[in-house]
A and B are shown apart, each in its own frame.
Chain A
């Protein structure tokens, strides 16, 4: 399994609803995120935060981590 740790850098650039939902799931700037799984063709990403797994779209994941993920 690919195990990558990331830090959430910003919520800028995401629409309000997405930001709000991520906040409600307990994610904030500085949260430590483990990317558990990437789907091919820039498909969804499964991230793990505080023992919970969440599936998000790749675009959202990129925004959160500041886009420096290959």
Chain B
């Protein structure tokens, strides 16, 4: 088995390349840090295993996900390293390449995204690069499969056929090279370290690589440890950096060829001129989301959803009812299947178009390169509340599902900042809340569906940010995390990537329909058809009704006047989709149209909005509570999250309803 490691800067298209090479789909996004752990795949019909490592700027890591790469190189030794570089930013990409070449493992460098380079009006003479760097240099464009057959052929070799590379030797300043030589010698003679590896270790150690320094401590590498003070005092790391950079500049100067036309760069700057505009940036960010909701609710999602609903409530329900009567099912079973399962689970499933449209929009954003801009545009606000603009990305992921959002917060280095992000994640409006929004906006705000939903999403963000500020003050977090974001070139989103992204996110929703939504629906059916004395025909005498009636006084101040929504909120803790399915069961309607009519009858625009705000912010679903518990390592935080969100949601819904009532 030949092992090939893919290694390179962030945003060089490693993951896209990995997917193309291995015929295996992995998650792709056009922002820094998509690959948090290493991934393994296999090239089809071959004996070659490919490892996709997270993108790093250098082998000296700053964040946790970056240390994965250095640790990998310290522990394993791949047979071949495919160094993926962004052709149009070769200068800084080669800084990493040099570190890798110094290791002495066979390396192939590929200039990926070669089309971007050509459009920028440059080209490199591959032969010159290859001789200067001492390894084969290829070109590729993973997005349109250019140059891939050649690369595949390079990678599918037997271990024995791979030509060894001698490590790259740069002319470091005399003092530095002397230090390297001495350390290498001591390591090879006294510690039996392989000469190539010893030299690499020495260079990395001198260059203040934190992971290598820890490694040296762990292995008691005295020759390095004893000299640390000297290396640092002499600022050897600066000298190493300067030597490397001037080597690269000299190499690139001899290898550069000029072409014409600078079209693509011009397009990116034109788009950037608008989307990262200082004044318009935030409104555009809002505008993009508005467009997403417009697509999901007004233009594509809802019309499709109506068709599905017509099918479900019309032919399917009627047919099922007739069939069940014919085969002699009891009224109870008929009610369970038709009024419970078909109306509830089926009803939630009719929201598939909205949810998938929204997911497709998010996937397009991810693939196009806008996310990095969003992090930038929002950084000023995030900085004010003491978070990093990059913390915005886990929050946006939380729009899909709060659990994944919380998991994504793992990439945040500062423990306090991570805890804050975890605690505010449930306020982000996840996709499970969409069906209930959809129902209510259709009933009470038919003309402004997208605006209302957008306002809820932004309210979620605002509450999250305010709470973050609050926690920041309480925890006295004083951190200075690094905020440097690279703004990648825009890509025209690729259909296959967008589709995969959408499907990956949407699959979960369909799966939930068969598990927790199903269970919640059966539960609410039971509650609404039974009481202490058994089966009831009048829903007003059921458990659900009496439970709702008891709690009604508490909910009156936020504008809820009937018991049904209260019972639905209770089962909604299972999963937020269950709120919608419960409403369908409780209002005993087999189709959305009738339910929308019922909602329209028992709510005013104001009380409906207050309820939606409550739904947005109240108790996180089971899965989220569990994740908070495991990620923070204590049940206290989970309990705190439940109590605090209940408090906040009630308070805000109360304010909205009461102030709104005064105004109208």
Are A and B direct contacts in the complex by CB distance below 8 Å?
Answer: yes
**Chain A proximity mask over B224-243: 1 for CB below 8 Å, otherwise 0:** 00000000000000000110
Name B77-126 residues within 8 Å CB distance of A. 88-89, 91-92, 95-96, 120
| Chain B residues with CB under 8 A of A36 | 272
Query: Which of B96, B120, B279, B486 counts the most A-chain CB atoms under 10 A from its CB?
Result: B486
B92:A26 contact, CB within 8 angstroms: yes
Chain B min CB distance to A47 (Å): 10
B587: interface (CB < 8 Å): no
Chain B's interface size range is 35 or more
Given A17-B62, A20-B60, A53 and B91 touching (CB < 8 A)?
no
- How many A residues are at the interface, by size bracket? 20 to 34
Cβ–Cβ contact A22 & B484, under 8 A: yes
Tell me which of A26, A39, A57 contacts B91 (CB under 8 A): A26
Q: Which secondary structure characterizes the binding site on chain B?
A: helix
Residues of B within 8 A of A18 (CB): 482, 484
CB contacts (< 8 Å) of B333 on chain A: these are none
Closest approach, in angstroms, between the C-beta of B283 and any C-beta of chain A? 13
B242 contacts across to A, CB distance below 8 A: 28
Chain B residues with Cβ under 8 A from A37's Cβ?
276-278
User: Contact at A41–B89, with CB atoms within 8 Å?
Assistant: no
Using known A-B contacts A24-B95, A40-B279, A44-B376, determine if residue A53 contacts B57 with beta carbons closer than 8 Å. Answer: no
Contact assessment for A50 and B91 in the assembled complex, using a CB-CB cutoff below 8 Å:
yes
A-chain residues with CB within 8 Å of residue B62 when the two chains form the complex: 17, 20-21
**CB-CB nearest in chain B for A25:** B92
Distance of A42 Cα from B383 Cα, bound (Å): 11
Chain B residues lying within 8 Å of A21, measured Cβ to Cβ, are: 57, 62, 482, 484
Point out the residues of chain A lying under 8 angstroms from B376, CB to CB: 44, 46, 55
Query: B520 near A: Cβ within 8 Å?
Result: no
Distance in angstroms between the alpha carbons of A25 and B120 in the assembled complex: 19
CB distance from B662 to the nearest CB of A (A): 34
Which residues of chain B from 332 to 366 have a CB within 8 Å of any chain A CB?
none
Instruction: Enumerate B23-53 residues with CB–CB distance to A below 8 Å.
Output: none
Q: Which of A15-70 contact B (CB under 8 A)?
A: 15, 17-18, 20-26, 28, 36-44, 46, 50-57, 60
Residues of B204-238 at the interface with A, using a CB-CB cut-off of 8 Å, are none
Contacts of A1 in B (CB 8 A): 273
B270-289 interface (Cβ within 8 A of A): 272-273, 276-279, 281
B487 within 8 A of A: yes
- Residues of A within 8 Å of B95, CB to CB, are 23-24, 26
Between A22, A26, A46, the greatest number of chain B beta carbons within 10 A of the residue's beta carbon is seen for A26
Give the complex CA separation of A40 and B242 in angstroms: 34
What are 5 A-B interface contacts by the 8 Å CB criterion? A21-B62, A50-B91, A55-B376, A55-B483, A56-B483
Measured CA separation A26–B483 after assembly (Å): 16
CA distance A66 to B83 in the complex (A): 36
**B454 CB → nearest A CB, Å:** 23
Within 8 A of A (CB), among B477-491: 480, 482-487
Contacts of A22 in B (CB 8 A): 484
CA–CA, A60 to B483, complex, Å? Answer: 9
What CA separation (Å) do A37 and B225 show in the bound complex?
Answer: 45
Partner of A43, one of B278, B372, B484: B278
Contact B380 A55 (CB under 8 A): no
Bound CA–CA A55/B272 (angstroms): 12
B276 near A52 with CB under 8 A, answer no
Contact bitstring B242-266, A, C-beta under 8 A = 1, else 0: 1001000000000000000000010
Instruction: Report the minimum CB–CB distance from A35 to chain B (whole Å).
Output: 12
